[in-house]
Structure 1
Amino acid sequence: MIDVRRWMPGVQMVTTYKTSWLPRDLVAGIVLTTLLVPQGMAYAELAGLPAITGLYTSILCLLAYAVFGPSRILVLGPDSSLGPMIATVLIGALGAGADPAEAIALAGMLGLIVGVLLVLAGVAKLGFLADLLSHPTQVGYLNGLALTILVSQLPKLFGFSVDGDGLIEETRGFVEGVADGKTVPAATVIGLLGLAVIVSLRRWAPRVPGVLIAVVLSIFAVVAFGLEERGVDTVGALPQGLPSFALPSFDFSDLGILVGGAFGIALVSLTDTISTASAFAARTGQEVRGNQEMIGIGAANIAASFFQGFPVSTSGSRTAVAQQSGSRTQVTGVVGAVAISLLLVFAPGLLRDLPQPTLAAVVIAAALSLADIPAIALLWRRRRVEFSLAIAAFLGVAVLGVLPGIAVAVGLSVLNVFRKVWWPYQAVLGRAQGVNGYHDITVYPSAERLPGLLIFRFDAPLIFANARVFRDRVREFARTEPGLRWIIMAAEPITDVDTTAADMLEELDRELNEQGISLVFAEMKSPVHEKIDRYQLTRTIDPAHFFPTLEDAVAAFRRETGAEWTT
């Protein structure tokens, strides 16, 4: 029998809900709505879609996540980090200036593919895929994304538009537009003032809804001073009523770019969600259920895709607002969805005079929150290799584009892991005075060693990628160490030996034996030792040359040779 509560955590939440939580959830939901509406509209336009689709998406994803999402605090919705990725897919498939209806249908199909991918990954328990973006590459990617978003919104902030795709072309278009006098003074003033209000209140009064205040003040300014007549573009009246059901559609020639974009969006959405869920779970004492989170986000994307929506992710800022407002459960998101629905049914003209430069200010403020320059500086001070990875990911996004940038970021993360396995840290060990055990002689240069003995530590699993590196280092010892008789492998860090490495060890042991040198292992893990037996390496490596500890191996060598410790 299917465990409904396991796959639909919202059902369990309803059965355990306490009426004392309702007032807090209601207040948090209303406060959250003041953020959901302007951000939803702004991020929809960032994705190259009509503003109304951001509200449709918010309604459906909040309701779906309330049923399938495991977290009681996370808030989903249109996201600034996904907007440029969605826009890249739409432009790649339809070209610039595509018909809005075609763009909406294609965005819905993109959301459906993203949702299916996430649900399948959750069912298959592939939550570890979030680890494909390491912290340095994620920092670089987000900084590159922040710069890309900022530049893309500057023309709208200044009251004009540019024809260009990518950071370089859009930067050139903006500079040329300003030089040619395309700037609309009234739009520039209201956009910059809105941005100043949002950023200032976020910095000095984070509990005050800066986005809402900027939106209200800008609408008042448009009405009071007749700014539309001065060239300020506004949102206009929104369609009245709730979104209608519509099957996503696409041309099969666009399948490649849709699937490629969906993989990138799914990975970024998953990474954002797992990191945000972990951060807020630590504050609230909840447990992160990564696989169910994927199912919850997937269900939210699927639900939105059938109602003129587009891909969504978790929002750290909106989640923080909900928590600060006293949210206790997913009911907060349901209240937000209901409030947006009431706005569309009864007051669709309420936001008619919202200026486009203010929406640009909302997006730019979000982009600034994505940027993390101190993290880049910290990487520079801590580890230059990871700083280089962050810069490479940054340049990947800024120069190649958002989707190629995420591919670069993932590729760099994987290559960094592979590099650490390929060229792991290696050490020759000795006995240091006043310190128990055996230690790296580069750290303890005065450590004692036994003549004819070398203790070697290789800090990685022995696999095809590093078998040659290991072999060449041991051969170097055999060639350069005078009177060498034993090479003891401090094998505790070796967590695996694959067949390629096993063949290398068999060949290497025969080669060493011809030189009168024995290859000895100490502290090898049981699972690895079982593989050694299965590979039948003890045909060449003496079974007596496997010791449980380094001390036992060293003692055996001293008994055999009578060697004494020397500096």
Structure 2
Amino acid sequence: MIDRLTRIAPGLTKLLSYSFAEDFRHDLLAGVSVAAVALPVAIAYAQLAGFNPVVGLYSSILPLVAYAIFGTSRQMIVNPDAAVGAMVAAAVAPLAGGNAELYWSLSVAVTFLAGMFCIVASFFRLGALAEFLSKPILVGLLNGVAISICLGQAGKLLGFSIESKRVIPQLLEIFAKLPQTQIPTLIVGAASLAILFGLARWVPRLPTAPIILIAAGAAVALFGLDRYGVSILGSVPGGAPPLRLPRIPEGDIPSVLGSAAGLALVLFSSGMLTARSFASKGGYEIDTDRELAAFGAANLASALSQGFAVTGADSRTAVAVAAGGRTQVTGLVAAVTITAVLLFLTGPLRYVPTAALGALLVFASISLFDTQTLREIWSIDRTEVGLAVITTLGVVALGAINGILIAVGLALVRFVKLTARPRDEVLGTVDGLPGLHSIERHPDARTFPGLVLYRFDGPLTFFNSDYFKTRTLAVAEAAGPELRWFVIDAIPISQIDITGLYALRDLRGRLESRGASLILAGRKAEFLEWFREAGLYRPEHETWILPTLRQALKAYLRAAQPVAPLNQDDL
């Protein structure tokens, strides 16, 4: 029973053995600190996604509880996120057609379905999907989201609304409306940005989000800035969220399902980056398949409480760690604190100016924009930088979901290309260097008359077998008529199917017609076992499958004659 509970709800089993005496005082302080940051950030992200501010609070309570029960990270804080909020808005806004009630309902539906996709994927142990969005794609996604957020918040900082949804129209609209700039709003927004950057530069440990919103709200209340045209949040309804089922127009179901699938992939990939980063620093392991279920449960909890999509929140997780949080109880304390504010303390939130929220979102978006990683990737592989830039441009021009689909499509094409056309090389010895090395990278490498040592860096399957035959025969042709042994390094050949087997047989026949023999080096036990399982084993296999390339080289140098011809049905 305990083992089953551990598999389903690993966090719950840890909570059942929780040590109040040792951990609670640390988790209590950390949980209150997390709530202090999460409250204003959730309100800001709710506005970013186009919701009433209270929806951000709805999204910040039950997901914390769900993750504490089902998650495997003892430090992760699951909360609304700028990138995920922007994706929800981009996916739902075109379907809602300006209907606020339908917009909210569709957002809840997308969140619910994204959670379901995560849970179903966990049953199939698809936690490896976390690696599907590569680092360049995620960097490009966040950079594109950062640009979109900055432009989307410009109107709040300048005091006018921006109706356009795409970057170029937004820029044109902003320039056209600059004469309408509301000076008091601009002052509030600029002052908020200056304080945010100043605190981050000089006092980086301070929780800047609550400080700036408290200060801006106090300024509005004391000086009546709303009477001078400064827009404020206004009344924020308290109490529990209304419980109701989301409504999806029948014609929008395919779009909602597609958006939910893309959202599930992004929120899980992004959240796993946060989880793995903090797990590595904390010296513990996480289970990707159980994390997939935990993210699904957190989003189901958010949808059931009428919230929008959530993921691992790096800023709030960092606050939890810096404040000394030790276990998932930190998230539970934060949830209780936010609930208390939602039930009893929403009144003061009405004075928060929207310009300060816009400044907070611009500040967050700038922190999302990552040029350092792009420079690092550039120094390693410039093609990957191109993938990141295409993702950024796709997000900016077409929206987050479509940008991701484009990037994933390009990544798939590149993956297929790398797998179908893997690198291959002829090997030789290099004076002063142990082992065997590519003669292309080492022009002074020594080769041996009558012998080719060949490496094919990939599986040998149906989608690259023709390429394999073409490349090996070209190498054999280049070796000339004196070729006697063609040795293939079998170590990189991680998989072989029936088409690959036929390719080896055809290659062997072509080589024998030239008076040469085919030798495999490495994975001897695996190949022999494979032949036995397939019913193709012959005693001769013991002689032409050698343990290593080095032994193949030594055997060739010792041999007075090439190995004996092989029967056609040996392979």
What's the TM-score once normalised by structure 1's chain length? 0.93
Matching residue's letter, 2:20: K
Q: Which residue of 2 aligns with 1:127?
A: 127
| Counterpart contact for 2:524–2:545, Cα < 8 Å | no
1:335 maps to 2:333? yes
Which secondary structure does the structure 1 equivalent of 2:351 belong to? coil
Deviation, structure 1 residue 561: 4.3
- Range 71-80 or range 311-320, more displaced: 71-80
Q: Sort the Cα spacing of 1:465 and 1:356 in 2 relative to 1 into closer, same or farther, 3 A.
A: same
Deviation, structure 1 residue 319: 0.4
Deviation, structure 1 residue 173: 2.0
Distance 1:195 1:242 in 2: 33
Distance 2:67 2:550 in 1: 57
1:449 maps to 2:450? no
Distance 1:329 1:207 in 2: 21
- Range 47-56 or range 23-32, more displaced: 23-32
Matching residue's letter, 2:460: L
Q: Which residue of 2 aligns with 1:151?
A: 151
Deviation, structure 1 residue 351: 0.8
Distance 2:462 2:64 in 1: 47
Q: Which residue of 2 aligns with 1:177?
A: 177
* Equivalences for residues 385-400 of structure 1 within 5 A: 385-400=383-398
Q: Which residue of 2 aligns with 1:504?
A: 503
- Range 189-198 or range 435-444, more displaced: 435-444
Which secondary structure does the structure 1 equivalent of 2:520 belong to? strand
Which secondary structure does the structure 2 equivalent of 1:352 belong to? helix
Q: Sort the Cα spacing of 1:516 and 1:533 in 2 relative to 1 into closer, same or farther, 3 A.
A: farther
Q: Which residue of 2 aligns with 1:553?
A: 552
Aligned counterpart for 1:358 among listed residues 356, 359, 366? 356
Deviation, structure 1 residue 537: 7.2
* Equivalences for residues 247-286 of structure 1 within 5 A: 247-286=245-284
| Counterpart contact for 1:431–1:448, Cα < 8 Å | yes
| Counterpart contact for 2:31–2:330, Cα < 8 Å | yes
Deviation, structure 1 residue 11: 4.5
The Cα offsets for residues 293-324 of structure 1, whole Å up to 9 and x where unpaired, read as 22222111111212211111110000001111
Q: Which residue of 2 aligns with 1:35?
A: 37
Distance 1:505 1:212 in 2: 67
Aligned counterpart for 2:96 among listed residues 94, 97, 106? 94
* Equivalences for residues 405-420 of structure 1 within 5 A: 405-420=403-418
| Counterpart contact for 1:10–1:70, Cα < 8 Å | no
1:207 maps to 2:205? yes
Which secondary structure does the structure 2 equivalent of 1:429 belong to? strand
Distance 2:470 2:411 in 1: 27
Report the count of equivalent residues. Answer: 559
Matching residue's letter, 2:149: I
Distance 2:560 2:13 in 1: 72
Which secondary structure does the structure 1 equivalent of 2:426 belong to? strand
Distance 1:560 1:6 in 2: 58
Deviation, structure 1 residue 524: 3.2
Q: Which residue of 1 aligns with 2:521?
A: 522
Q: Which residue of 1 aligns with 2:568?
A: none
Q: Which residue of 2 aligns with 1:219?
A: 217
1:50 maps to 2:48? no
Matching residue's letter, 1:102: L
Matching residue's letter, 1:108: V
Q: Which residue of 2 aligns with 1:167?
A: 167
Which secondary structure does the structure 2 equivalent of 1:462 belong to? coil
Matching residue's letter, 2:334: G
Which secondary structure does the structure 1 equivalent of 2:434 belong to? coil
Distance 1:428 1:6 in 2: 48
Distance 2:175 2:328 in 1: 45
Q: Sort the Cα spacing of 1:525 and 1:141 in 2 relative to 1 into closer, same or farther, 3 A.
A: farther
Distance 1:210 1:230 in 2: 26
Distance 1:258 1:19 in 2: 47
Which secondary structure does the structure 2 equivalent of 1:350 belong to? helix
Deviation, structure 1 residue 6: 3.6
Matching residue's letter, 1:86: V
Deviation, structure 1 residue 430: 1.5
1:4 maps to 2:5? yes
Distance 1:126 1:138 in 2: 19
The Cα offsets for residues 106-139 of structure 1, whole Å up to 9 and x where unpaired, read as 2111111111111222233211110101112221
Q: Which residue of 1 aligns with 2:76?
A: 74
Matching residue's letter, 1:88: A
Q: Which residue of 1 aligns with 2:566?
A: none
| Counterpart contact for 1:43–1:54, Cα < 8 Å | yes
| Counterpart contact for 1:132–1:414, Cα < 8 Å | no
Deviation, structure 1 residue 75: 0.7
Distance 2:27 2:187 in 1: 37
Distance 1:200 1:122 in 2: 43
The Cα offsets for residues 371-428 of structure 1, whole Å up to 9 and x where unpaired, read as 1111112222222122222222222212222101111232333333333222222221
Matching residue's letter, 2:552: A
Distance 2:66 2:245 in 1: 17
Which secondary structure does the structure 1 equivalent of 2:83 belong to? coil
Deviation, structure 1 residue 102: 2.0
Identity %: 36
* Equivalences for residues 363-374 of structure 1 within 5 A: 363-374=361-372
Which secondary structure does the structure 1 equivalent of 2:433 belong to? coil
Matching residue's letter, 2:75: I
Q: Sort the Cα spacing of 1:532 and 1:444 in 2 relative to 1 into closer, same or farther, 3 A.
A: farther
Matching residue's letter, 2:506: E
Which secondary structure does the structure 2 equivalent of 1:41 belong to? helix
Q: Which residue of 1 aligns with 2:565?
A: none
Distance 1:202 1:350 in 2: 25
Structure 2 gap segments, 5+ residues each = 563-571
Structure 1 gap segments, 5+ residues each = none
Q: Which residue of 1 aligns with 2:296?
A: 298
Distance 2:524 2:56 in 1: 54
The Cα offsets for residues 451-499 of structure 1, whole Å up to 9 and x where unpaired, read as 1111111111112232222211222123222222221112211111122
Aligned counterpart for 1:346 among listed residues 344, 347, 359? 344
| Counterpart contact for 2:138–2:270, Cα < 8 Å | no
Q: Which residue of 2 aligns with 1:435?
A: 433
| Counterpart contact for 1:495–1:528, Cα < 8 Å | no
Aligned counterpart for 1:481 among listed residues 470, 479, 482? 479
Distance 1:428 1:507 in 2: 20
| Counterpart contact for 1:44–1:83, Cα < 8 Å | yes
Which secondary structure does the structure 2 equivalent of 1:488 belong to? strand
Deviation, structure 1 residue 170: 2.1
Aligned counterpart for 1:382 among listed residues 380, 383, 400? 380
What's the TM-score once normalised by structure 2's chain length? 0.92
Which secondary structure does the structure 1 equivalent of 2:307 belong to? coil
Distance 1:141 1:343 in 2: 33
Deviation, structure 1 residue 536: 7.1
